[in-house]
Amino acid sequence: MSTSSTTTGGRPRVAARRRLARWRGLLTFDRISFMLVFLGLPLAIFVIFVLVPVCQAIFYSLTDWTGFSPEMHVVGLANFRKLAHDDIFLHAVRNNVLLALVVPFVTLTLAFAIAVVVTMGGPSTGTIRGIRAAGLYRIVSFFPYVVPAIVIGLIWAQVYDPAAGLLNGALTKVGLHGFENFAWLGEVKSAMPASMFVIIWGSIGFYTVLFVAAIKGLPAEIYEAARLDGAGRFRTAVSITLPLVRDNVQTAYIYIGILSLDAFVFMQALNPNGGPDNSTLTMSQYLLTTAFKKSQFGYATAMGVVLALITLLFATLVFLVNYLTGGRERRKA
């Protein structure tokens, strides 16, 4: 009887000792230091520089803080209700949504087309290769992205100048006298398209290089098999290349979409006052004016929260569209 009780009582102690030994084996100095450096430190940085400012911004959006006084009063959702009836802000939201719809699509379509031509636009026979001087084309296309956005905006503002701008001068020289002294950034119909062109021109090079790198990483046997089956260049690009670089397109769409939803630097350089009838005004521009010119930091912070929510919604929609249009089957495979 005593032997049996000793045996049954010793089993839990043996199991406890084994668990303790296992934990001691796991909690070595190398493991602890690795966790602290590669998990604890990044997590602390994320909490301090991301989560805390986000929570602080949400709190300020619920107050009437002027930004230059320590006094503030919690007003709840009053700032957000005011935004819902602010015609200027709603117009800025429409401008940002228009930018997010047009700029990413046009930019990535052109970048993908250039990347395909550079990597696979060579001879129709023999090894799959790009056009001659492909490296030069990549450098030329990437060059605008190297120039800071503010510089690009200021340069194009001078190009669009009605009296001394290069664009009107060139169009007038070729006989299009209707563009003499034409204010590209001063007309409601042309201000937004002209601004979109500048953003596309300044961004297309980076995404061209991104797609070139993605296409060069694809197996050449796939294209050789498609060529043997008689697939043309366009069909190969749309039916083979595009699905294979789907993840790169998704990432690029999110990046350029975030840029379009902000677009502050380009728009501020081209039209610092929001353009004629606020035709190019963005949420970030209106936020800046509200905060620093009207001293309504609480109200401006509410605009920032709305902009952040719209950006998150845009990223979610991109992921959802990618998942519903083929990403689901690819993950299952």
Domain ranges of the chain: 2-61, 82-332
pLDDT at position 122 is 65
pLDDT at position 228 is 81
pLDDT at position 1 is 46
For residue 298, list its beta bridge partners. none
pLDDT at position 94 is 96
> What residues of the chain score a pLDDT lower than 50?
1, 4-6
Residue 193 token pair: 């398209």
Q: Do residues 283 and 89 make contact, with C-beta atoms less than 8 angstroms apart?
A: yes
Residues 6+ apart with CB under 8 A from 212: 115, 118, 119, 138
pTM: 0.84
How far apart are the C-alpha atoms of 36 and 31, rounded to whole Å?
9
Residues 6+ apart with CB under 8 A from 181: 162, 163, 168
Angle between helices 283-292 and 87-120 (to 10 degrees): 140
Superfamily of domain 82-332: MetI-like (1.10.3720.10)
pLDDT at position 59 is 95
pLDDT at position 331 is 52
DSSP state of 286: H
pLDDT at position 65 is 92
